[in-house]
Amino acid sequence: MYAILDIETTGGKFNEEGITEIAIHKFDGHQVVDKFISLVNPEKPIQPFVVNLTGINNKMLRTAPKFHEVAKRIVEITDSTVLVAHNAQFDYRILRTEFRRLGYNFERKTLCTVDLSKKLIPEAESHSLGKLVRSLGIPVSDRHRANGDALATLKLFKVLLSKDSDKEILKGIIRDKEHGELSDRQLDIVESLPSETGVYYMHDKDGEILYLGKSSNIKKRVNQHFTNGGKKSRQLQKATKKVSFEKTGSDLAALLKENEELRRNKPKYNSRPPRKNFSYIVKTVDNDNGYKQLVAEKSSLRKDAFATFNSLAGAKNFIFKVTKDFELCPKLNGISEAKQSCSSYENGECKGACINQESAETYNKRVLEVLDTYSINQKNIVIVDKGREIGEYIAFLIKKGLFQGFGYYDLNHQINNLNILESIITPMNGNENATHIIETYLRKRRVHKIMELDK
């Protein structure tokens, strides 16, 4: 649990500043579950430059509550949370100073989005809050007011969490907490998990990932882990001290995250992923008359492949489908075993490629249409799918046929501007396995839309 925090102060000498406004959004890693926003009477004058910067003046604060009147609420909303702020050292110091004046020792773990962004978005020209969120296309209102900056920090933190593929943020937090043996009640943590699409992580007492997987129903899948029999399942159940998750909204995003993070994290209880996710391909071969025919064969080499598959049956079913959908020759593609003309020719439905009724050039254009429809080879596109909540979308960026990564957005200009799009994308490994996952998904499922990038 996180407490996204921003504080505005009077300015002045170090450790003599007073709080003029505070905003805290309690964030469970997926949504805001509580918030507290208030002006605060600092009982001292505000520096003129601060008035010009924030718009908060002494008159506005005369009837505002004093810090001791809001202190209890701050303690309650931040209890058992990690404080997250842009330049967290400043906000945390101010809070501790105010509590110290009340004789209370206020202690919380902290995360600084300045430090995190330097690590996860090193290419940013500036890591100041205003310039950083602007480069990511994050809308900001009420800049230099506590709630405006807290909301901007919250949206930035969501981007940073999604970019943290090695899960260093989460591991660090879990590692620093004390864990005992799981009780029956703790095993029921499954009840707090969402029945939604995403990736889940099963951790040991040190925060290390023991097992990760994807599911369209996280709650149901984790429940199966806790109830499965077998020696390995019981070992995993005993070693698991916490289950965390990331909602993806899109099944494609869950598949790609699982593929990427299995190879990055190498969890102890996951089976070792295969070097290649496919073992069969469909390719084109020109016959003696120059007509392209589709051939399925066992291979883990994508070069020259039309499409990749996990099984021979899947490859043959694909050939059968596209032969029908694109009016290709069933005899040429091995579907009809007729020695001369096939039944499609005899009833007048065949284009006649198998006996040269149609030119190879014309026929082959339809074959290439199949490639254009089902392959991302050499394409510059953005695949858009549903996001994690209403109004949010996910964009998968593909350049020259290679998957670059994905990111979430809620404003059209974030994907219509390539620079902004690339800044919100979490980079991922665009290898043959990722290509196989994407093309397989597009063959079977519909997405919101596919946009071509300007060349």
Reading the chain (455 residues) residue by residue, the pLDDT tens digits are 899 999 999 988 777 889 999 999 999 888 899 999 999 999 999 999 999 888 999 999 999 999 999 999 999 999 989 999 998 888 998 998 899 899 998 989 889 999 899 989 998 889 999 899 989 988 888 888 999 999 999 999 999 998 888 877 777 665 554 333 334 544 567 777 898 999 999 999 899 999 999 999 998 888 788 877 678 888 998 898 889 999 999 999 999 999 999 988 999 999 988 888 899 999 999 888 889 999 999 987 887 788 999 999 999 999 999 998 998 888 888 886 655 555 555 555 555 445 556 788 889 998 999 888 889 988 999 999 999 999 999 999 999 999 999 999 998 888 888 889 899 999 998 899 999 999 999 998 889 999 998 75
Confirm if 19 and 97 have CB atoms less than 8 A apart: no
* pTM of the shown model: 0.71
pLDDT digit string (tens) for 86-104?
988 889 989 988 998 999 9
Question: What does residue 404 show for φ and ψ, rounded to 5 degrees?
Answer: -100, -30
Q: Packing angle between helix 231-239 and helix 218-227, nearest 10 degrees? A: 110
Which of these, 320, 321, 323, 296, lies nearest to 310 by C-alpha position?
296
pLDDT digit string (tens) for 306-341?
899 999 999 999 999 999 899 888 888 888 665 555
Q: Classify burial at 410, counting beta carbons within 10 Å of its beta carbon; exposed 0-12, middle 13-18, buried 19 or more.
A: middle
CA torsion, ordered 433, 435, 440, 445, to nearest 10 deg: 130
List C-alpha distances in Å: 356 to 288, 333, 362: 11, 14, 11
Q: Give the Cα separation of 263 and 67 in Å (integer).
A: 49
Q: Classify burial at 199, counting beta carbons within 10 Å of its beta carbon; exposed 0-12, middle 13-18, buried 19 or more.
A: buried
Q: What secondary structure, in 3-state letters, does 127-179 show?
A: CCHHHHHHHCCCCCCCCCCHHHHHHHHHHHHHHHHHHCCCCHHHHHHHHCCCC
Q: Is the dihedral of CA 94, 96, 100, 104 positive or negative?
A: positive
| DSSP bridge pairs for 11 | none
Tokens linked to 162:
């999604």
Q: Sheet containing 402-409: which strands, arranged edge to edge?
A: 426-427, 402-409, 393-399, 381-386, 449-452
Tokens linked to 285:
């071969």
Check residue 279 and report its DSSP letter: -
The neighbour count for residue 292, using CB atoms within 10 Å, is: 25
